Structure 1
Amino acid sequence: MNKTELKEFLDEKVIEFNNPKFIESDPIQIPHQFKLKEDIEITAFLTATIAWGNRKMIIKNSQKMIELMGNSPFDFVMNHQDHHLNSFDGFVHRTFNSLDLQYFIKAIQHIYKNYNGLETVFANNASIDSTQQAISVFKNIFFEIPHLQRTQKHISNPLKGSAAKRINMFLRWMVRNDNAGVDFGIWQNLSPSQLSCPLDVHSGNVARKLGLLKRKQNDAKALAELDTSLRKMDKKDPVKYDFALFGLGVFEKF
Structure 2
Amino acid sequence: MSQNTHTLHLLFKEPIALRCCQLVLQYQQAGDAPEAARWAEKLGGADPEKLWSADWFNHSMEVTGGCLQVQFDSSSSEGIPLSMLEELFAHGLQAAVAEVFYDQVGEIERMHFDQGMWVARKTLLERYPALKALAEAETPEQDPAEDTESAGAEEEDRQRPRKPVHIAALRAEQDERERQGQEAAQAMLNLFKDMRESGVPPVQGLMGVFLLRAGFKGLVHAALFTVVTALLFKGLWLWIGLGVVLAVVLPLYYMQQERKSLFS
Fold match by TM threshold 0.5:
no
Query: TM-score scaled to structure 2, two decimals?
Result: 0.26
Provide the TM-score with structure 1 as the length reference: 0.27
User: Of Structure 1 and Structure 2, which has the larger fraction of its residues in strand?
Assistant: 2
Structure (1 or 2) with the greater helix fraction:
1
Q: Which has the higher contact order (CA 8 A, sep 6+)?
A: 1
